[in-house]
Amino acid sequence: MDNNGYVLITGAGSGLGKSFAIEFAKRNFPVVLVGRTKSKLDSVSSECGKNNSLVIVANVGKHDEVERCFKEANEWKGFPSIVISCAGEGVFGHVGKFTDDHIERVLSGNLIGTIFVSQKGLVEMKEKGGTIVNVMSTAATMGRVNESIYCAAKWGAKGFTESLRLETKGTKVKVVAVYPGGIQTPFWSEKCGMQPDTSGFMKPDELAKTLADNILDKQSLYVPDIILNRI
């Protein structure tokens, strides 16, 4: 892939988003780090190289903020070559206990943010081409107890991504759907309502390297769907 453009990553302050940023920076791509917490993004930027990374604090669940992200990124490095949606939050528990806040938190990054970032990425990539990568979860492929609103958001993101791929057929834009299983990240916490033993989960750095290898263009093919499970 021609890496004259930048790689924009949402949810870049921690977890898989952070690992993606560091991995692409190692491969000499300029990386745009998008997230809600500046201190976390600044820390990732230091690991990526301050001259090779741009920090943007934004809520991708808001259309205007996504527009601003791309405007600032374009002013910095011209155009996106890869756009990766990694932002998302989980709230788990029994149906009947979810509040407005719980539902808004889960839908904001996992579904609404994925839609806003993907559609803006598509607009920016129409002429030069590029790759849109939507990171979902194996929760987008099956229902799970205590994960109803999380599954709803991920199933919605899957439907959007599959439809987007059909719309981009025959264009220079590729759409990649990623469905990882459990990852060792701060995602799992008391705040989300689920604290599993993550010692056997996938390591985000290893996952990011594997995904980058599959995302970057081959000569005669691309990998549209990637499902990854822990051993």
- pLDDT in tens for each of the 231 residues of the chain? 445 899 999 999 999 999 999 999 999 999 999 999 999 999 999 999 999 999 999 999 999 999 999 999 999 999 999 999 999 887 888 888 889 999 998 999 899 999 999 999 999 999 999 999 999 988 889 888 888 998 999 999 999 999 999 999 999 999 999 998 877 766 655 565 566 666 778 898 999 999 999 999 777 888 999 998 887
Contact 187, 90 (CB under 8 A): yes
List of E strands, the chain:
6-10, 31-35, 53-57, 80-85, 130-135, 173-180, 225-228
**Measured distance CA(59)–CA(43) in Å, rounded:** 19
Residue 23 to residue 7: CA distance in whole angstroms: 11
**Where does residue 205 rank: exposed (0-12), middle (13-18), buried (19+ CB within 10 A)?**
middle
Pick from 90, 92, 119: nearest CA to 107: 90
The pTM for the full model equals 0.92
Rounded-to-integer distance, Cα 156 and Cα 166, Å: 16
For residue 181, what pLDDT is reported? 83
Domains along the sequence of the chain with CATH: 6-228 (3.40.50.720)
Length of the chain: 231
Please tell me the distance from the alpha carbon of residue 37 to that of residue 39, in angstroms, as a whole number: 6
